[in-house]
Amino acid sequence: MPEIIEELEDKRNNLNSKAEGYKAQREKFNAETKKLAERRDSLNDKVKNLIKDASEHRKKRDDINIKVKDAKALREKLNREYNATSEEVNRLKKEKLPKGGVPLGKLRAELKKIEFKQMTSVLTSDKERELVDMLSQLQGEIREREKLLEKNTEIQSSMKKLKESKEKAEEQHRLVSTLADQAQQEHESMVTLFEESDKLRREADAAQEKFIEAKLKADEQHKNHILFIKQVRELDKIISGLRRKRRKAKVSKSKTQAKKEATEIYERFKAGEKLSTEDLMALQKAGYL
């Protein structure tokens, strides 16, 4: 029996060693799953915040686009008013000013053209004098036409209205441009944040996949650990039973031997042999006294 118990103990220790190995692997994979879960959760939190910020930019963009739409509508209205006023000014000029001659706008454009040529070209003295004469003549014509315009209050009123209309239209155009730029900035910010959130979401998904892989491995190692632990406990029960059985056998053998020795002592006592203290104790233990 001692050989059987020793053999079973060796087997039990071997199984326990394997169980501990699976346990160590399980703990390793569990630690990995914890890190991956923390990374996944951290990335998902960042994605959530990015989407929240991106949504705020989208709302701002949409709100600004509504303002852009309204501003464009007003700009178109102001442009129509400017065009109508411009037509009214041209009509009055045709009616109130002398017939014939070059329009004032064309005279001013020609004046600027000649002035630019004079400043940027290398001219002979004759050509220079010719240009000076042309400038003088144009300036004179322009002054005459401006005097005629100044004298006509109806034309002056229409031209003032035209100037104000133009300023309003240009101011509204600048507002449209400013709002459109703001909307574009919000749109670009939104797109950037959504792209970043998509990138982080892919990283979170990858972490989740690795988490599942590590979790499955940890579960497999746990399963193996439990399987071997059960075998160890079963062997512990068998070994414990064998040891109890061996102890009982030893006790039974000891009692039988003691009974035999006491019987022999008792026979010697009946034969009149003097007994020692040890002999008397043995008889007492065996129930003879």
Q: Residue 280: what pLDDT? A: 60
pTM: 0.60
Q: What is the pLDDT of residues 71-104, one digit of tens each?
A: 999 999 999 999 999 888 777 777 766 665 666 6
What does the longest C-alpha to C-alpha distance in the chain come to? 179
Q: What is the pLDDT of residues 214-262, one digit of tens each?
A: 999 999 999 999 999 999 998 888 888 777 777 776 666 566 676 776 6
Give the model's confidence band at 142: pLDDT under 50 very low, under 70 low, under 90 confident, else very high: confident
Long-range Cβ pairs for the range 272-278 (8 Å, 24+): none
Q: Residue 241: what pLDDT? A: 78
d(CA 289, CA 272): 16
CB atoms within 10 A of CB 29: 20
Q: Residue 151: what pLDDT? A: 64
Q: Kindly report the CA angle at 240 between 235 and 241, in degrees rounded to 5?
A: 100
Q: Which is higher by pLDDT, 183 or 138? A: 183
**Closest among 218, 200, 206, 192 to 29, alpha carbons compared:** 218
Q: Residue 207: what pLDDT? A: 96
Give, for 66, the enclosing helix (H) or strand (E): helix 2-96
DSSP secondary-structure letter at 285? H
Q: Residue 56: what pLDDT? A: 97
Q: Residue 17: what pLDDT? A: 92
Q: Residue 258: what pLDDT? A: 67
For residues 43 and 208, the answer to whether their CB atoms sit within 8 Å is no
d(CA 267, CA 259): 12
Per-residue pLDDT, averaged over 189-197, amounts to 96
Domains observed in the chain: 33-209 (1.10.287)
Residue 1 has pLDDT above 60, yes or no: no
For residues 203 and 41, the answer to whether their CB atoms sit within 8 Å is no
